[in-house]
Structures are given as C-alpha cells and as structure tokens.
Structure 1
Amino acid sequence: MSIVVVGASLAGFSLVHDLRERGYDGSITVVGDEIHPPYDRPPLSKEFLHGDVDIALGETDDPRTRWLLGHRAIGIASTATGPGVTLDNGTTIAGRSLVLATGARARTLPGAQAPAGIYTLRTVDDARAIRAALRTARTVVIVGAGLIGSELASTAATLGVQATIVELATDPLSGVFGPLLGALCADLHAANGVRLRTGVAVAEFLGDEHVSAVRLTDGTLLPADAVIIGIGAVPNTEWAQDSALHIDNGFITDAQCRTTVPDIYAIGDCARTYQDALGTHHRCEHWSNATAQARIAAACIVGAPPANIPTTYFWSRQYGRMIQFAGNRRPDDEVRFIDGDPSTPSCTALYERAGEPVAVFAIDNARLFTRYRKQIERRPAAIATP
C-alpha cells in the first residue's frame, strides 16, 4: 500500500529518497502546496538574491512516486485502509503510513500587509520578489537579527544597499550561541557597514502605496525603500487541528518521529520532537534536522533498526564568513576558546558541561570544527548530562 507524504520540500523529498535507499519499492504520493518541484531553501537568503542558481533538490521522475504539486492539505482523514489526508480539491488520499512534512511559514507583523515593498522570505517566489526589490533599493530595513535576518543584511550589503537591522532583543543571537558568541556574530554587522538597532521594535510602517520608512517604538524614523521581516516561522499545523493529533507549536512526536496517532509521522519544521539530549520536546528549523528526521522516520516506517539521532548542526554564511555550530548548549555551559578569540579573524570555541564538550562553535575554521563535532557526536551521554 502507498505511503502518503504531505509536504514537498526538503523533509518530504529526503523521506522519499531515504525510503528508496532502504528498499521500499511501493508507491509514494507526495502532496505539495507550491507548484515548484522540491528545492533547497538555504540559498534563498544568499546566492539566489544575486541571480538564479540551481536550487533543485533532485529528480522527481521516478514512476513509483506521484508528485501532486499545487495542492493544499485541509484535513486528516481516517479510512479503512489507513491514515489519509483530504486535499483542497475534495479528494482523499490514504496509505499505510502518513508523513506530515508541511514545514512552516514566515512570521509577520501587524501592518505588514500594506503598503507594498514589505517582504518575508520563505519561498522561491518570496526570494524573487526580494531580489527584484534589492536591485533598485538604496536603503532596506531588516526586522530581526537572527540567522536569516543576518544573512539578508549580509547579502544586501554586498549588493551595495544600505541595510539597517532592527531587533527587539538587546543581545542578538544570545539565545542561539550564548551572550559571548552571540555578540561576536552581532559585531560582524558593524564591521561591514550594517547598522544594528537593538532593544527596540517596529511601531509602524509609513508610506501610501509603497513603504517609505519605518517608525520604531523609540520614535526613530528609518528611511526604507524596502523592508524584509525575518522574525522566525510558525509551523503549518492549523489544517490538521480537528484531528486526534497532539499539536502544540508543532506536531508532537516521540524521538522516532511518531505522532500520537498510529502510523502518522511528522518531520521537519512542522514537528516538535522529543529529544533525549534536552529531556523535552523541541521544534528545530535547521536544514540538517529535516534530513535527519527523514532518515529516522524512513527507518521506522520500513521496520529497520532505529536511525541514529544526530546532534543539532547548522551553519550560516555572512559577510564572506562561515559560522558553524553543533551540539546542544545550555545557558550555564562554560565557553572556552580552543583556537583564536573574539579579536581574531577565525576562532573556535567549545561549550563544556562538567568538563565535557557538549557543543562547538567556529568562524572560518571548518577543519577544527569538524573534529570536535565528530567527538561530540560520539559522546551522546555527555550531551545529556544534567
């Protein structure tokens, strides 16, 4: 019987690949709400804004896999043959297993629907609109100093656009890297001519038909030919709210990506998965998490031994620098530089707990970073130590 996948982005595409790699030869139906074949999202905030680059994830011409693109799921269905999904055209598709990989959508702000010239970045169509705007803009205001906002600011700067980042938090990226290394990343903006305003929020967007400025809560007026909002994402789960699934900031799953309903799995940005290392459920929006959870779910579906649950890993390219992180840090972990320091062009730092490395951070030091990442992945017990 067929396996049904709802979501045709990285997580869904990777699941299909991993099922085939594990010998599953049955039919797979993949439903996607975008009309575009599966594509890679990380380049959208970087290389793609400079010009078209190949972002296709791979081939979709396997006759055993049916891709229903441009269709939206509107509800979970229970059928005699197994779990299914109802689509916006009224049809229901069921299989022996149902995998939810519906991803997330960009958060926005009140008033961002008008005037024109205010963007969020999630899809390739969003990126094309932003790219067109940056070709003519002289000034851009980016709301949010997270990884996406920082990458957008970096790209805007390389295109010759004056960028200002507005961030509500007083310590950007401290929640991700901790205050010391978060500040190190934030300092890259000033070093590259990007203004960073922290501890302040957007009060309103000004302009009649097209945005012309952003007023901040402290009264500051920032001229803006374009505004890009990068303040995180909301999991796409509302369509299934009338089902028996447990939903709380994502589809709740166990460590093997199984939801609270038998034979239904959730992976990627829409899933809030139990993580042994953290001792709680956690929703992770990183590229590596989507591919890792696809492997885990594929193994579970075909009855193979459980796939290894990797540590968190992500990277970001900003101002020509490569920032990498792996592991699971906690606020009280000790930070120790093992190569360089905040004043040097490249550096590597370990997060340590009870004297053991539990996470690693690096700027422009892939070799040393990889060595410690592998060491941390070989010591999962150290990561889970309270």
Structure 2
Amino acid sequence: MSGIVVVGAGQAGASLVAKLRALGADGPVTLIGAETQPPYQRPPLSKGYLLGEMDEARLYLRPESYYADQGIDLMLGRPVTALDTEARRMTVGGEEIAYDQLALTTGSVPNRLPQSIGGDLDGVFTVRTLADIDRMSPLFERNARVLVVGGGYIGLEAAAVASKLGLRVTLVEMADRILGRVAAPETSDYFRALHRGHGVDLREGCGLERLTGHDGRVTGAVLGDGTVIEVDFVIVGTGIRPDTRLAEAAGIVCENGIKVDEMGRTSAPGVWAAGDCAVFPWRDEMLRLESVQNAIDQAEAVAANMLGADAAYQPKPWFWSDQYDVKLQIAGLNTGYDRVVVRKADGAVSHWYYAGDTLLAVDAMNAARDYMVGKRLIEAGRSPAPEALADPATDLKGLLRP
C-alpha cells in the first residue's frame, strides 16, 4: 500500500481525506486512528453528549459507510508506533505501511494533574475523548460533589453541564480570573456572574494543592488557600497541548506544535500537518489554533496542496462555547488588544477588541447578529469607530455598507 496516508482520525483527518476525494485524488487513501470509533465531533462531548441530549451516532462526522464508499481505508484502534520519514514507512499495530505522502493530523492531548498531587487516583477525569465522557457520565448524579480544575472553556462547559444536572460544583482557577489567557476581563466578568448565578462555587486565584483519596479513589481536595473539601470526582480542564510525539520521534521539527510552512509542509519531505497539532506562519509570527474551524480549513488547504495547488493557508478564526442558555461566539483573534468596547442592545452583549483603531475580534454572548457583523468586518479588514459600536442605536448591518 502506498498513496496518501493520514495519521489522526479527528476533525482534521476526516476533513483532509474527504477533500482529497472531492478534489479528484484517485490513488489509495488511508486514514489511521488510535480510537476505535470513526471520526467524530469533539465539541459536543462536554455539552450535548454529556447532558444526554445527543447519542454516539450523532457525534460521527460521517456514517462509517462513507469511507468505504469513497475508497478510503479506515484503520481504527491502531496507533502508529514508529515512523521512518526517509524510507517513507510506518509501523501500525505491528504492520508496516508505506506511503508516498503523509499528513499528520494527530490533534492534541489534555494536560493532566501530576501523580504527586493525586492525579492518578480513580475518579479523576479529563474531557477529550468519547471514552473519557463514557467513563465519567455515570457519576453525574444529582447532589454529587464535583471539583472542576481550570477556568478555561472546557472547565466552564463541564461545570455548566454538572450544574444543570443538579450536581454541587466547585471550580478552581489558579490565575486571578477565569478565561484569563483567552478573553478580556469584561468577558471573564460576564461568565463569572453566569456561573455563580447557577450555584457554582467559583474560586479564582486559588489553585489545587493536592487531591486526597481512600483505597485509590479520590475523596477530597486541599485547595491553594488551605480549604479542604470533599469530592466524589474531579474534572481536569487545564488545557491541551499539541500531540507531537510521533513527529518528534521521527525527527520532524516541532516548536509548540509540528512546524509547517504556509502550505502545510513539515521539515520532512512528503510529510504535511494540519489541525491542533500544527503551528504555522501567520502575520510575522507562528500560530497554532485549537478550533474546529482551523481543523477543517487547514486540513482542506493541505489536501489541495498535496495535490499540487501550492496555495498558502489563510485562517479566518472563529470559535464558540455553550454554557447554560448562553452561546458565546468569537470571531478573530484578540492578541495585542489595548481596548475593549462593550455593546449592549436588545438583550444581547458583545465585547469588541481593538488595537489602536483596528478591530481585532469580537466576543458575542447570545448576540448572533453582532457575531456575524463582526466576523464580516474583521475578514474584510474594516474597523468601524468604537463609539458607533458602543451606541445601542447603531444599526450594525449598516456598518457593512461601503
């Protein structure tokens, strides 16, 4: 078997192989995944699936039959254990596979708590895979006590689901505010009030000292401020990191991700990368995006370049998060902002990030119109006067007119 091989059967891998076929690739295409399920959506894991509102089959990006129908060899439950980029061969479950071109879409892995503070106790979970959710979901019983470690989007989403299901939730964030790495204080304030309004015991500037347990299972936690609490289980939402293990072992250059050029090529001939695992040049810096949008768009761009398109990838970042009855939609990247404009109109709230006079990004809370207008403005490189955005009487759609 040669042809094109894609390692990593997540959103990026599934998008890449589908795009290859859509663009007319007629040679062998193989998609290899370490998990036993066909490629599935990850965002609903900590939302609809954990709430019991979505069954497993609805998570699948495509029916499993699609891959056979498209002539895509789907190899599941078989992690790649070795990669030789000079020989263009890899080892998969004891079997040697050759390739002409290889794409690495290995995604990311969750940060875990150190064993030294009890991270290896039973009842301590991360939120990354279908198996993670299946293991923890039986513990989501009314009045169960759960500790959520980390006040990023994953931790907040898990806390929201637990609270909605009637659990007693404590969330700790070591930094001085939740969402500190990714959002303005105004957005942190909004979501702090939202969670506390739903009964979450949210503690900022307070890390986890250690977990305690009995017979190998977690039973309590000592917090950074000395507080001791009893817990039935723990959810760790302290972020993710790019899965570069296979690339690094093969000698491919990695720097906070698998380093690629504008086309998606790595340092190894015939090897490409896309999605969470890839870091790429953008606006005079190296950027790595953890989002569905980037996984799809970059993977499709790489698929085209593997077939000779020779076109640089231009990201158009957008993200979302669902917490309780609030949908947060984000367009753009707020890196380097020095001003936040708050808009409140018709019951919706949005926060607009500026660097000088340049609009960078928008956080829209139950404000779909603000999000869509902001996204179009950012992609067009247009920056309305901040005062116009702050004025609730301003017709946002009018800002799109030439």
* TM-score (norm. length: structure 2): 0.88
User: Closer, same or farther in 2 for the Cα pair 1:129/1:345, shift >3 Å?
Assistant: farther
Cα distance between partner residues in 1 of 2:133 and 2:108: 16
3-state SS in 2 of match to 1:211: strand
User: Closer, same or farther in 2 for the Cα pair 1:192/1:345, shift >3 Å?
Assistant: farther
Match for residue 298 of structure 1? 303
Structure 2 unaligned runs (5+)? 385-402
Question: Paired residue for 1:104, among 94, 108, 125?
Answer: 108
Residue 43 of structure 1 and its aligned partner are, at CA, apart by 0.7
Match for residue 318 of structure 1? 323
> What amino acid sits opposite 1:306 in the alignment?
A
User: Closer, same or farther in 2 for the Cα pair 1:42/1:79, shift >3 Å?
Assistant: same
The answer to whether the 8 Å contact 2:109/2:128 transfers is yes
Cα distance between partner residues in 2 of 1:120 and 1:186: 22
Deviates more, 1:210-219 or 1:305-314: 305-314
Cα distance between partner residues in 1 of 2:119 and 2:177: 28
Match for residue 92 of structure 1? 96
Superposed CA deviations along residues 79-107 of structure 1, whole A, max 9, x for unmatched, are: 55xx3322241x23222210001111111
Question: Paired residue for 2:160, among 147, 154, 165?
Answer: 154
Question: Paired residue for 1:333, among 306, 323, 338?
Answer: 338
Q: Among the aligned pairs, what percent are the same residue?
A: 34
* Number of residue pairs aligned between Structure 1 and Structure 2: 374
Match for residue 125 of structure 1? 131
> What amino acid sits opposite 1:369 in the alignment?
Y
Residue 10 of structure 1 and its aligned partner are, at CA, apart by 0.8
Match for residue 180 of structure 1? 186
Match for residue 224 of structure 2? 217
> RMSD value over aligned CA atoms?
2.1
Match for residue 147 of structure 2? 141
Match for residue 277 of structure 2? 270
| Runs of 4 or more above 6 Å deviation | none
Question: Paired residue for 1:378, among 362, 377, 380?
Answer: 380
Matched, 1:364 2:371: no
User: Closer, same or farther in 2 for the Cα pair 1:379/1:84, shift >3 Å?
Assistant: farther
Cα distance between partner residues in 1 of 2:234 and 2:85: 44
> What amino acid sits opposite 1:244 in the alignment?
G
Residue 350 of structure 1 and its aligned partner are, at CA, apart by 1.7
Cα distance between partner residues in 1 of 2:26 and 2:195: 50
> What amino acid sits opposite 1:317 in the alignment?
D
Within 5 Å, give how 1:190-205 maps onto structure 2: 190-205=196-211
Residue 203 of structure 1 and its aligned partner are, at CA, apart by 1.4
Match for residue 69 of structure 1? 76
Cα distance between partner residues in 1 of 2:264 and 2:8: 15
3-state SS in 1 of match to 2:61: coil
User: Closer, same or farther in 2 for the Cα pair 1:268/1:189, shift >3 Å?
Assistant: same
Superposed CA deviations along residues 305-354 of structure 1, whole A, max 9, x for unmatched, are: 526523221000001100011112124432112444xxx85212221233
Question: Paired residue for 1:284, among 280, 289, 294?
Answer: 289
> What amino acid sits opposite 1:379 in the alignment?
G
3-state SS in 2 of match to 1:362: strand
Superposed CA deviations along residues 184-232 of structure 1, whole A, max 9, x for unmatched, are: 2222111211111111221111121322111112211122111100101
Cα distance between partner residues in 2 of 1:194 and 1:268: 33
The answer to whether the 8 Å contact 1:143/1:165 transfers is yes
Cα distance between partner residues in 1 of 2:331 and 2:263: 21
The answer to whether the 8 Å contact 1:255/1:273 transfers is yes
User: Closer, same or farther in 2 for the Cα pair 1:154/1:11, shift >3 Å?
Assistant: same
Matched, 1:261 2:268: yes
Match for residue 176 of structure 2? 170
> What amino acid sits opposite 2:24 in the alignment?
G
Cα distance between partner residues in 1 of 2:225 and 2:354: 39
Deviates more, 1:286-295 or 1:105-114: 105-114
3-state SS in 2 of match to 1:177: coil
The answer to whether the 8 Å contact 2:142/2:165 transfers is no
User: Closer, same or farther in 2 for the Cα pair 1:332/1:37, shift >3 Å?
Assistant: closer
The answer to whether the 8 Å contact 2:263/2:313 transfers is no
User: Closer, same or farther in 2 for the Cα pair 1:236/1:88, shift >3 Å?
Assistant: farther
Cα distance between partner residues in 2 of 1:339 and 1:148: 26
The answer to whether the 8 Å contact 1:253/1:271 transfers is yes
User: Closer, same or farther in 2 for the Cα pair 1:305/1:371, shift >3 Å?
Assistant: farther
Residue 63 of structure 1 and its aligned partner are, at CA, apart by 5.1
Cα distance between partner residues in 1 of 2:337 and 2:46: 32
Matched, 1:4 2:9: no
